[in-house]
Amino acid sequence: MRLGSGTFAACCVVIEVLGVALFLRGFFPTPVRSSARTEHQAEPPAPEPSAGASSNWTKLPPPLFRKVVIMLIDGLRDDFVFGSKGVKFMPYTTYLVEKGASHSFVAEAKLPTVTMPRIKALMTGSLPGFIDVVRNLNSPALLEDNVITQAKAAGKRIIFYGDETWVKLFPRHFVEYDGTTSFFVSDYTEVDDNVTRHLDKVLKRGDWDVLILHYLGLDHIGHVSGPSSPLIGHKLREMDSILMKIHTSLLSEERETLVPNLLVLCGDHGMSETGGHGASSVEELNTALILISSAFERKPGDIRRPKHVQQTDLAATLAIGLGLPIPGNSVGSLLFPTVEGRPVREQLRFLHLNAVQLSKLLQENVPSYTKEPGFEQFKMSERLHGNWIRLYLEENNSEVLFNLGAKVRRQYLDALRTLSLSLSRQVAQYDIYSMLVGTVMVLEVLALLLLSIPQALSSEAELEVPLWSPVFSLLFYLMFLVLSALHVIVCTSTESSCYFCGLSWLTAGGVMALISALLCAVGSALAKMFADGKFLSKNPAHPKARWSELDVLILLGTTGHVLSLGASSFIEEEHQTWYFLINTLCLALCHEIYRNCFLRDDCEPQQCSHVEEGFVSPAPALQDRSIRCNMLEPHRVSKGPTSLDTLRGYEKWMVLASPWVILTCCRLLRSLNQTGVQWAHRPDLGHWLTSSDHKAELSVLAALSLILIFALVQRRCSLTSKVAMALGLLGVYCYRAAIGNVLFPWQRDSKDISKGVIEARFVHVFVLGILFTGTKDLLKSQVIAADFTIKTVGLWEIYSGLVLLAALLFRPHNLPVLVFSLFIQTIMTKFIWKPLRHDAAEITIMHYWFGQAFFYFQGNSNSIATVDVSAGFVGLDTYMEVPAMFLTAFATFAGPVLWASHLVSFLSSETSRTRTNILQICIGPRRPQIAKAILRKNKAGGITIPDFQIYYGAIIKEYGTGTEIDI
In the complex, the residues that contact another protein under the rule CB under 8 A are 567, 569-570, 572-573, 576-577, 579-580, 583-584, 587, 591, 594-595, 598-599, 602-603, 605-606, 608-611, 613-615, 618, 663-664, 666-667, 670-671, 676, 678
Longest dimension (CA), the chain: 123
- The least distance separating another protein from the CB of residue 845, rounded to whole angstroms, comes to 19
58 vs 664 by CB, closer to another protein: 664
- The least distance separating another protein from the CB of residue 626, rounded to whole angstroms, comes to 23
- The least distance separating another protein from the CB of residue 567, rounded to whole angstroms, comes to 7
Alpha carbon distance 834, 831 (integer Å): 6
159 vs 632 by CB, closer to another protein: 632
678 vs 782 by CB, closer to another protein: 678
- The least distance separating another protein from the CB of residue 592, rounded to whole angstroms, comes to 9
89 vs 579 by CB, closer to another protein: 579
- The least distance separating another protein from the CB of residue 816, rounded to whole angstroms, comes to 17
- The least distance separating another protein from the CB of residue 111, rounded to whole angstroms, comes to 18
CB distance 416 to 358 below 8 Å = yes
- The least distance separating another protein from the CB of residue 644, rounded to whole angstroms, comes to 14
591 vs 635 by CB, closer to another protein: 591
10 vs 563 by CB, closer to another protein: 563
Give the chain's end-to-end CA distance (angstroms, integer): 24
Strand 262-267 and strand 210-215: the pairing is unpaired
- The least distance separating another protein from the CB of residue 696, rounded to whole angstroms, comes to 24
24 vs 663 by CB, closer to another protein: 663
| Region for 640 from its dihedrals, namely left if φ exceeds 0, alpha if ψ lies in -120 to 50, beta otherwise | left
Residue 266's DSSP bridge partners are 72, 289
- What count of other Cβ atoms lies within 10 Å of the Cβ of residue 865? 20
Alpha carbon distance 951, 965 (integer Å): 11
- To 5 degrees, how large is the angle CA 624–CA 630–CA 635? 100
450 vs 567 by CB, closer to another protein: 567
- The least distance separating another protein from the CB of residue 573, rounded to whole angstroms, comes to 4
HEC assignment per residue over 846-887: HHHHHHHHHHHHCCCCCCHHHCCHHHHHCCCCCCCHHHHHHH
CB distance 666 to 586 below 8 Å = yes
452 vs 861 by CB, closer to another protein: 861
CB distance 312 to 330 below 8 Å = yes
Q: What are phi and psi of 174, to 5 degrees?
A: -100, 135
Alpha carbon distance 161, 342 (integer Å): 32
- The least distance separating another protein from the CB of residue 660, rounded to whole angstroms, comes to 8
In sequence order, what DSSP letters do the residues of 773-784 get, joined into one string?
Answer: HHHHHHHHHHHS
Distances from the Cα of 729 to the Cαs of 60, 525, 695, in angstroms?
Answer: 66, 52, 19
Q: What is the DSSP letter of 306?
A: P
- The least distance separating another protein from the CB of residue 234, rounded to whole angstroms, comes to 32
454 vs 634 by CB, closer to another protein: 634
130 vs 580 by CB, closer to another protein: 580
Q: What is the DSSP letter of 208?
A: -
Alpha carbon distance 693, 672 (integer Å): 17
- The least distance separating another protein from the CB of residue 272, rounded to whole angstroms, comes to 16
CB-neighbour burial class of residue 499 (10 A; exposed 0-12, middle 13-18, buried 19+): middle
- The least distance separating another protein from the CB of residue 661, rounded to whole angstroms, comes to 11
Alpha carbon distance 743, 549 (integer Å): 49
Q: What is the DSSP letter of 135?
A: G
H or E element, residue 107:
strand 102-108
303 vs 562 by CB, closer to another protein: 562
553 vs 884 by CB, closer to another protein: 553
Q: Which among 17, 168, 15 has a CA at the least distance from the CA of 879?
A: 168
CB distance 332 to 313 below 8 Å = yes
Residue 290's DSSP bridge partners are 104, 265
